[in-house]
Amino acid sequence: MPLDIRAGERDNNWIKGRGIRVHYASRCIIDGVDIDVNAGRITTLVGNNGAGKSTLLRVLIGLTQPSSGAVERRDGLRIGYVPQHFSVDSSLPITARRFIALRGKVSKQRWQQATAETAVEKLLEQPLQSLSGGEMRRVLLARAVLHNPDVLALDEPAAGLDAGSQGQLYRLIGSLRERYGCAVVVVSHDLNLVMAASDDVLCLEDGRVACRGAPASVVEHPEYRKLFGAHLGPDTAVFRHSHPHKVELSDDH
């Protein structure tokens, strides 16, 4: 399928997906999703369990092939990925330093910068198996940012972290975006944090786009309220943009 990228959008557009469909056996997991991943923006994929968020993320970065549709990635795109699940064989003796270094050689200066900004310096000599859940997420992030990625793809990066660490992690993601101008695509269930940290939200329901747009618009959308309304209490802090946004409806709404 030919992609329609307008001239003005090309400079910022790292990944463009159109009409993405993924089938497993007879089941349709992703059903006709259009999505743009743009430099300097944080896009968050939300939705219930099994909605297809991880699958869509993997399609965008080329780890899963779509059954149909098109995904265009800019040539030479550097992608840093933090998977949802990561386990280390307990018989494999590997320190955090070796594990991060497996990503490939970088200058000493870059190494120091990446390990400092993800706050893993004190963990480097520890066996990977001994790290706590939160420490492991930071090590995975250090590995993902090591090569100055153009796109950071993070699948539930804050899963298992305590509230303070979740906040820290999202602030870190925001500052990495500021520093490197990279695009960030995040899968998350932490709705309040997501809303505070994202530029764009795409809400999936059974593989389809239920609603999408800026956080402040999406939370007002009936489809979003249907899915998450019960979790939006009066204390929900939603980041408010100062300019109006349009909520786009999927084809079937």
Of 16, 17, 20, 29, the one binding ligand ATP by CB under 6 A: 29
- Is 91 an interacting residue with respect to ligand ATP (CB under 6 A)? no
Q: Which range in 2-10, 45-53, 126-134, 241-249 contacts ligand ATP by CB under 6 A?
A: 45-53
Helices 133-145, 163-180: inter-axial angle, 10-degree rounding? 10
Of 38, 43, 55, 115, the one binding ligand ATP by CB under 6 A: 55
Half-sphere exposure of 52 (CA within 13 A, CB side): 26
**CB closer to ligand ATP, 120 vs 186:** 186
Of 3, 10, 50, 162, the one binding ligand ATP by CB under 6 A: 50
- Is 86 an interacting residue with respect to ligand ATP (CB under 6 A)? no
Q: What is d(CA 173, CA 154) in angstroms, rounded to the nearest whole number?
A: 10
Q: Is 52 exposed, middle or buried (0-12, 13-18, 19+ CB in 10 A)?
A: buried
- Is 247 an interacting residue with respect to ligand ATP (CB under 6 A)? no
Q: Which range in 53-61, 72-80, 103-111, 135-143 contacts ligand ATP by CB under 6 A?
A: 53-61
Q: What is d(CA 96, CA 90) in angstroms, rounded to the nearest whole number?
A: 14
Of 24, 121, 122, 179, the one binding ligand ATP by CB under 6 A: 24
Q: Work out how close the CB of 137 gets to ligand ATP at its nearest, in angstroms, rounded to a whole number.
A: 15
Tell me phi and psi for residue 145, to 5 degrees. Answer: -95, -5
Residue reference for tokens 């050689």: 105
Contact 149, 78 (CB under 8 A): yes
**CB closer to ligand ATP, 169 vs 204:** 204
- Is 62 an interacting residue with respect to ligand ATP (CB under 6 A)? no
Neighbours of 21 (CB within 10 A): 16
List residues binding ligand ATP (CB under 6 A).
24, 29, 47, 49-55
